Chains A and B, each alone.
Chain A
């Protein structure tokens, strides 16, 4: 029985961890923390510059990923499809929606190497060479 409880505990802990995200950014960005509201402004393309010379470059996961679903629900309280629709409409209006990277490692590598980049990865990752601005939820 104890073993069963232990297995359930480990399973639920790992599930909880999978639903947590780290917001990471390039070392060049001029902030060390960020609020959920500021994050929403960045991913809705409202805020496009960190400073006069550093553009904000938001990075997204693919639509089918668990991280994208968590991000959409935690930051915007919307299903990923509605947020995807919003970005598609912006793209048709000539704006560049967040770039897609298809794994945590790809997001990490991109954010590490592109000045102004900001993205999210699963909280079970141990990122290096980037700033961690926020953990959600």
Chain B
């Protein structure tokens, strides 16, 4: 399995770089057009020094996108990736890693403003979940609020409304009638969901700034509980300072299945805030804090993070951050006290 994953990784790299190197005028980060399609992707390598585990160097993501714009009816999109592959770690050992089909859908442009999407798509819950590629987000450690308490992918049908003029609100509805297609491994998706539906609305405050509200309802397969979630998100730029925040609260109900982790609260909630200051056009200083209360544990998890990011060119970023995590360590914890460093680039 390990060798197959490695082979797939090298195949993706070969496919991408052999193609782009031959392309006249190719610029890193711009993708490679092939007829009506654009091939592109990103790579993220992470050095993780947790206080409770050996230091390791991971190929966190090697992701390839293929998007097509054929006509009004056929506009496919595929994202496949090799993730969490340990390249080297303290005490020896390498491997692990998963091959994941993250997204696979087709968009039909019913009108210029209305799009029907069918397939496996990201759920528009907050903003981070829609744009979580490492080179596009300010820090390495993804807040729980942006990922943990909801279905990140909907496998089914979606309706997107995007007005023709900038500055007007856009919205999206989606429905997953059953379970996730191309299901991700448990290491990446410890909770599984079914019968999910939801929606999101954004009010733009500028080209990059916006405030949004989200809703999701569904069932947790492992516990049999149903949940209803509401979320708010916003980001605003003040000159060199960018502020960003997301918050959510979810109610859980129903009898927990025998053998499943019992709930100790009937709700789950989280909030994070992030400030990103552009010291120069290439150097950024970032502070982030988060509070998260899981519905299966009594106490909350609190996190404070300080980071620097260096962007030598638009698609490329180096990051270094220190995370201090207090309170309870959640099951399937992805946030623990320690250092992280990463290099990522779009290609």
Chain A positions within 8 Å of B, measured between CB atoms, are 37, 40-41, 44, 46-49, 52, 55, 62-63, 76, 78, 81-86, 88-89, 91-96, 99-102, 106
Q: How far is the CB of B337 from chain A (nearest CB, A)?
A: 30
Q: Chain B residues near A62: list those with CB within 8 A.
A: 25, 27, 30
Closest partner residue, chain A, to B281 (CB atom)? A81
- The complex places the Cα of A62 from the Cα of B23 at a distance, in Å, of 14
- The complex places the Cα of A91 from the Cα of B66 at a distance, in Å, of 10
B207 touches A78 (CB 8 A): yes
Tell me, yes or no, whether B53 is within 8 Å of chain A by CB: no
Tell me, yes or no, whether B133 is within 8 Å of chain A by CB: yes
Residue pairs across A and B with CB atoms within 8 Å: the count is 80
Task: Given A91-B65, A93-B130, A102-B25, verify A44-B208 contact (CB < 8 Å).
Answer: no
Chain B contacts with A in 148-166, Cβ cutoff 8 A: 162-166
B207 touches A46 (CB 8 A): no
Q: Chain A residues near B25: list those with CB within 8 A.
A: 62, 100-102, 106
- The complex places the Cα of A11 from the Cα of B307 at a distance, in Å, of 45
A91 touches B31 (CB 8 A): yes
B33 touches A55 (CB 8 A): no
A92 touches B281 (CB 8 A): no
Task: Given A62-B27, A85-B208, A99-B33, verify A44-B136 contact (CB < 8 Å).
Answer: no
Q: How far is the CB of B343 from chain A (nearest CB, A)?
A: 17
A76 touches B207 (CB 8 A): yes
A88 touches B315 (CB 8 A): yes
- The complex places the Cα of A83 from the Cα of B314 at a distance, in Å, of 10
Please tell me which one of the listed residues B69, B130, B135 contacts residue A55 in the complex, with CB atoms under 8 A apart. Answer: B69
B131 touches A89 (CB 8 A): yes
Most buried by A among B77, B112, B122: B112
Q: Binding site of A, secondary structure by majority: helix, strand, loop or mixed? A: mixed
Closest partner residue, chain B, to A89 (CB atom)? B131
Closest partner residue, chain B, to A102 (CB atom)? B25
Task: Give me 6 other A-B pairs in contact (C-beta within 8 A), A44-B166, A84-B29 excluded.
Answer: A47-B112, A82-B208, A91-B31, A91-B38, A91-B65, A93-B131
- The complex places the Cα of A30 from the Cα of B280 at a distance, in Å, of 44
Task: Given A55-B69, A91-B40, verify A47-B164 contact (CB < 8 Å).
Answer: yes
Please tell me which one of the listed residues A46, A86, A100 contacts residue B30 in the complex, with CB atoms under 8 A apart. Answer: A100
Please tell me which one of the listed residues A84, A92, A95 contacts residue B133 in the complex, with CB atoms under 8 A apart. Answer: A92
The contact string, 1 if C-beta is below 8 Å from chain A, for chain B 310-336, is 000011000000000000000000000
- The complex places the Cα of A84 from the Cα of B29 at a distance, in Å, of 10
Q: How far is the CB of B268 from chain A (nearest CB, A)?
A: 27
B31 touches A46 (CB 8 A): no
- The complex places the Cα of A99 from the Cα of B40 at a distance, in Å, of 13
Chain B contacts with A in 22-53, Cβ cutoff 8 A: 25, 27, 29-31, 33, 38, 40
Chain B contacts with A in 122-140, Cβ cutoff 8 A: 122, 130-131, 133, 135-136
